[in-house]
Structure 1
Amino acid sequence: MTTTTIAQPSWQLQRNSFGRLVLTDVDGVAHENVIPVRAFPVSAPDHGLSLVSSDGHELAWIDTLDELAGNARKLIEEELASREFMPEIERIVSVSTFATPSDWTVQTTRGTTTFTLKGEEDIRRLAAPALLIADSHGIQFLIRDQKALDKPSRKILDRFL
């Protein structure tokens, strides 16, 4: 199977009775358990998506989600939302201590939560000005733009960077 670059999709995407994605290619071959994978999940989440078979082979490449019609786009977005959980930190409410491990209370796009930061090495710099913070359970929290945080949040964050 070769990789297909999509102008107008020459394939169909649907869910099977188990709720898994099925891609039917131009030759009529049905590929079960298809997984959408973002090429750049943080820096360009809506650009560069691959539809991958259950054995890891790329079946289709999507330059941008905007080029997809309603149903295919909806199915891909639903699948990505169910697989990806990366709340974005909007504000740092408080930290228990400026030494690690410390408990952080943050306001995210998914609500207020508290997590434990094991060490400063769990704060990773991405393409400026983004940061990725991993809690003690491996959940990733994104700060898309540290300069966009309010002043108290930036002050707390600076103590750990």
Structure 2
Amino acid sequence: MSINFELIRNPFGKLVLTTAEGVVHEGVAAVRAFPVQAPEDGIALVNHDGKEVAWIDRIEDLPAAVGALVREELSGREFMPEISRIVAVTSFATPCTWTVNTDRGDTEFVLRGEEDIRRLTADTLLISDIHGIHFLVRDVRELDKHSKKILDRFL
């Protein structure tokens, strides 16, 4: 598949997009339309004003070098650790502190209330801590028995 833009990283580390018409947009950012359900599909490249200047249907359809730039930009922009195990909670009443294992390392966070646990699908949860950091539970069924037991008390 051919794309109708060129994407490079300048010496200052910023993405530079040049359209087929020759219009240059410096400092573009990649933004996922569906960060949890379809993280590789529907990527907008937006300028510094937040205006969309290019659309990517699927990252895998891009040339390898361009796809790598887009993935690199997305990983530097987003921070959503994925919880693999709930080790402990300080209380079953909120607010409480959760100790968890994630794909980004072990951490603790404060859950303000049960309303900060949102069900995205039947098996996917998004948990927000007191500082607004989002933690993802991609598949509740994949959690160990101990983690599920703790989670059940809050759902």
Q: Are residue 119 (structure 1) and residue 113 (structure 2) matched?
A: yes
Q: C-alpha displacement at 1:55, in angstroms?
A: 1.9
2:95 maps to 101
| C-alpha displacement of 1:24 | 0.6
Q: Of the candidates 60, 63, 66, which is equivalent to residue 60 of structure 2?
A: 66
Q: Secondary structure at the match of 1:92?
A: strand
1:56 CA drift (Å): 2.3
Q: Of 27, 31, 44, which aligns to 1:33?
A: 27
Is 1:20 the equivalent of 2:22?
Answer: no
Is 1:44 equivalent to 2:38 in the alignment? yes
Task: Give the secondary-structure state (helix, strand or coil) at the position aligned to 1:27.
Answer: coil
d(CA) in 1 for partners of 2:136 and 2:150?
Answer: 16
Tell me the amino acid that sits aligned with residue 73 of structure 1. Answer: G
Equivalent of 1:145 in 139, 145, 149: 139
Q: Return the offset for 1:120.
A: 0.8
TM-score scaled by length of structure 2: 0.95
How far did 1:43 drift? 0.4
Cα distance per residue 1:60-110 (max 9 Å; x no partner)? 211111111122111111111111000000010111111111111101011
Alignment partner of 1:107: what SS? Answer: strand
- One-letter amino acid of the structure 2 residue matched with residue 108 of structure 1: T
1:11 and 1:116 map into 2 onto residues whose CA distance is 43
1:80 and 2:74 matched: yes
Distance 1:57 1:152 in 2: 45
Give aligned pairs, total: 155
Where structure 1 has 5 or more consecutive residues not aligned to the other structure, the ranges are 1-6
Deviation of the 1:18 alpha carbon: 2.2
Q: Distance in 1 between matches of 2:82 and 2:48?
A: 29
| TM-score for both structures, normalised by structure 1 | 0.92
How much is the aligned-residue C-alpha RMSD, in angstroms?
A: 1.1
**Which runs of 5 or more residues in structure 2 are unaligned?**
none
